[in-house]
């Protein structure tokens, strides 16, 4: 019988959250990756929904043998603590649990089917799968990882769910010199959601990476504007002006 497994992203060692944990723990990246793997395995073994009742940060540290790791993960957004006796892993089902594994296996099966036409039952099904882009598959997976109440907030049925954490990460990675976010509350998520739903062009993580990278090219925004930060950049009026190039020097 095959051993159980969890998903780990290929760019994990350069992920912005890894950098924050490195800074908090004063450790090397390979020890951090090993520590994360240990924590994720605890969740995979003892939780079906990403919630561990009866666990505190200190209890998790004791289980994995690394004092301070849980607090570092909480600070980076990879863990949440209710202040009492419960630890929660955001986006648990994207990488852990049977549903995450089923999605990974299904994607692998489709990729192999596209490479081997003989294994596909009929040509029309193969052509349909072939039209799916990586972006569509990514949107589908992100949608599955967000809380179910997201679908009850007036979102059009065909709009992809908002990948808040990935947008927060894109800001941190592209604009490290600007004030970094310590609080990712509903107000900030509402700013993202408002912009996300305003135009289909804004509904990819790639757009947000390019947006923050574009901000970085503005001398005014990066040096002269003292009020700039995440909230300022996502306010509708400022967001529109940035996109229109109002803060960028004429080439």
Task: Give the pLDDT confidence of 24-74 residue by residue, as tens digits.
Answer: 888 888 888 888 888 888 888 887 777 888 899 999 998 889 999 989 888
Q: How far is CA 142 from CA 56, 89, 159, 160, 204, in A?
A: 27, 15, 12, 8, 11
Structural domains in the chain?
Answer: 12-94 (1.10.10), 97-152 (no CATH), 164-243 (no CATH)
Q: Which of 154-158, 214-218, 237-241 has the lowest mean pLDDT?
A: 154-158
Alpha-carbon span 235 to 203, nearest angstrom:
17
Task: Say if residue 94's pLDDT is above 70.
Answer: no
Structure tokens at 193: 């959601």
To the nearest 10 degrees (0 to 180), the angle between helices 164-174 and 205-216 is 20
Predicted local distance difference test score (pLDDT) of residue 170: 95
| The pLDDT of residue 175 | 93
Give the least confident one: 29-33, 36-40, 132-136, 162-166. 132-136
Q: Is the pTM of this model over 0.75?
A: no
Average pLDDT, the chain: 77
């Amino acid at each position: 019988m095959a051993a159980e497994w969890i998903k780990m992203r290929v760019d994990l060692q350069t992920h912005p959250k890894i950098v924050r944990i490195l800074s908090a723990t004063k450790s090397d990246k390979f020890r951090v990756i090993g520590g994360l793997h240990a924590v994720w395995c605890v969740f995979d073994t003892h939780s079906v929904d990403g919630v561990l009742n009866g666990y505190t940060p200190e209890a998790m540290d004791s289980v994995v043998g690394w004092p301070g790791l849980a607090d570092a993960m909480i600070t980076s957004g990879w863990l949440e603590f209710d202040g009492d006796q419960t630890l929660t892993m955001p986006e648990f089902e994207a990488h852990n649990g049977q549903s995450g594994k089923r999605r990974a296996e299904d994607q692998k099966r489709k990729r192999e089917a596209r490479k081997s036409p003989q294994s596909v039952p009929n040509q029309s099904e193969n052509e349909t799968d072939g039209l799916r882009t990586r972006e569509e598959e990514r949107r589908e997976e992100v949608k599955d990882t967000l809380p179910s109440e997201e679908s009850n907030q007036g979102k059009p049925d065909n709009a992809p769910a908002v990948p808040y954490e990935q947008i927060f990460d894109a800001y941190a990675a592209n604009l490290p010199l600007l004030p970094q976010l310590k609080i990712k509350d509903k107000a900030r998520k509402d700013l993202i959601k408002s912009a996300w739903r305003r135009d289909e062009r804004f509904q990819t993580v790639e757009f947000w990476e390019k947006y923050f990278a574009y901000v970085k090219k503005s001398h005014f925004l990066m040096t002269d504007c003292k009020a700039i930060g995440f909230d300022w950049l996502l306010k509708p009026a400022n967001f529109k002006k940035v996109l229109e190039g109002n803060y960028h020097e004429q080439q």
